[in-house]
A and B are shown apart, each in its own frame.
Chain A
Amino acid sequence: MDTVFPEILAEIDAGLEGRAELPSPDALLKRAEEILEAWLAARGEVPEAGEVEGFRLLALHRQGCKGTPSFNACRETCREIVFRRNVTLEYGEDTVTAHRLEAMVVKHLALFVGGKLEQTGLGEFCCSSRPLHAGVA
């Protein structure tokens, strides 16, 4: 697993368990971007700098899906991160819960992408196993 994943997971767990402050909503969003950057880097791609609907995370997700439809399984996960970040920043009411939920969703993205990176070495036994389709696994 890429070194960024254990660090992100440890940081979020520490925040959720009360051993440290949770990263800010924007810092969590940045962490989510780093997760997708790691996915793109592992595929030998340069992560794009553009935005979709005002967020780089959604642009990175779109880039990460190209040629790998199964990566779409984290589409709503990325959108939820953006949504929870917006709720936390825009509304005073219940922001503690929204902030914690944003952290939990970023954790899910880290686990999902980290798992897929590990699986890539085994032949990506997921919903669309391209190495097998292509006869290279």
Chain B
Amino acid sequence: MAKDLKEKDLKQVAYYPGCALEGTGHAYNRSTKAVGKALGLELVEVKDWNCCGAMEVKNIDPQVQTYLSARNLTKTEEMGFNVVMAPCNGCYHNLKKAEYDLAQNPQAVEANERISAKAGHHAYRPGGVETIHALDWLKRAVGEEELARRTAGKLKGMKVANYYGCMYTRPRHIFPEKDQGEGSESTYAPHFMDDLLASAGAENVDFPLKTACCGGAHAMSDADTSTQLVLNILTTAEACGAEVIATECPTCHTSLEIHQLRAEKLLGRKTNVKILYFTQLLGMALGLSQRKVGVAENMADPRAYLREKGLK
């Protein structure tokens, strides 16, 4: 289904922000919408959306999690859309996984039909909606050439380590559109964020931990391990010459920001690399103000650095 979609199909898509983008990831929500608007794209929020089940429900009952994600796909269909964009890696992963499970697992289908009937709505059938990430959306709806034209190299001189986290590409079998050769995303070496930011003039550094675990899932039960993992990501990015780590997931982003502060406070290890959503960077490259893309909401204040780079 993915390869059948044309650019015009992505000019207006259903938008599933997910819970994190209404809380800790608010700046991602704000900047994603602002970038879309600046590029003439329209996001239509899924009506009456619910939590995708994230890790909490999945850990207790994976089939309930499949239902919760599938319900969002049902709601998308009810609005007449066949594409839903989910900017959070966890939501994106779960919606893709629901699509896969409902096509492959009769027990998941039975549970989805049973709970949907109880809830009084039709059960989602696989193939009705394609879930895409914000990276897919901008890459396919706009593309590097147009972004380069619109941004005029405003990120020039900015050295960026692109951090995708471990959920964007894993497990491979739920992302059938990836690893399809030229033009498709890679699960081994993802590059869509690199491509988009490079088109705006950024210099991407060779960063070996772009899909490494940030310890996000351990944040509550073993915060010290998370701090060590994040500190290693930050110091490795700095060793690669990065001034900025670009993120595309609210969980990863929050984890990097919180543990950057925690590493300094508890371990006395200060790192200077700035952490920004890729949509914040693209937004500023498109001429939007720091305020418009929610930079003040970032914990590790990057405003002075951005001003130095001419991004106001």
Footprint of B on A, CB under 8 Å? 69, 72-77, 79-80, 83-84, 97, 100-101, 104-105, 107-108, 111-112, 114-115, 118-119, 122, 125-129, 132-133
Contact = CB atoms under 8 A, between A and B. Distances in A.
A76 B171 CA distance: 12
B270 interface: no
B236 A73 contact: no
B240 interface: yes
B241 to A, nearest CB: 9
A38 B120 CA distance: 50
B217 A126 contact: yes
Given A104-B208, A105-B236, A133 B213 contact: no
21 contacts: A69-B171, A72-B170, A73-B166, A73-B212, A76-B189, A76-B212, A77-B209, A83-B208, A84-B208, A97-B239, A101-B208, A101-B239, A101-B240, A104-B235, A104-B236, A112-B229, A119-B218, A119-B222, A122-B222, A125-B218, A129-B58
Contact of A127 (B60, B210, B217, B220): B217
A61 to B, nearest CB: 13
A126 B208 contact: no
A74 B165 CA distance: 11
B232 interface: yes
Nearest to A115: B225
B117 interface: no
Residue of A76, A97, A122, A129 most packed against chain B (CB within 10 A): A76
A132 B59 contact: yes
Interface in B178-235: 188-189, 208-213, 215, 217-218, 220-222, 225-226, 228-229, 232-233, 235
Nearest to B206: A101
Interface residues of B, number: 33
Residue of B220, B232, B239 most packed against chain A (CB within 10 A): B232
A119 B188 contact: no
B212 A112 contact: yes
Contact of A101 (B188, B217, B222, B236): B236
Nearest to B165: A73
Contacts of A101: 208, 236, 239-240
Given A105-B209, A118-B222, A125-B217, A132 B232 contact: no
Nearest to B62: A133
Question: Which 9 residue pairs are nearest across A and B when measured between Cβ atoms?
Answer: A115-B225, A129-B59, A73-B166, A80-B208, A104-B236, A76-B211, A73-B213, A126-B217, A111-B228
A100 B239 contact: yes
Nearest to A70: B217
A115 B215 contact: yes
Nearest to B211: A76
Contacts of B188: 76, 79
Contacts of B235: 104
Nearest to A126: B217
A76 B232 CA distance: 16
Contacts of B215: 112, 115
A115 B212 contact: no
B2 interface: no
A108 B239 contact: no
A108 B217 contact: no
A108 B59 contact: no
B55 interface: yes
A107 B229 CA distance: 9
Contact of B221 (A69, A73, A83, A119): A119
Given A69-B171, A105-B208, A122-B221, A112 B213 contact: yes
A73 B212 CA distance: 7
B236 A115 contact: no
B236 A108 contact: yes
Contacts of A132: 59-60
B167 interface: yes
Interface in B27-86: 55, 58-60, 62
Given A97-B239, A108-B232, A127 B208 contact: no
A32 to B, nearest CB: 13
A69 B188 CA distance: 16
A73 B232 contact: no
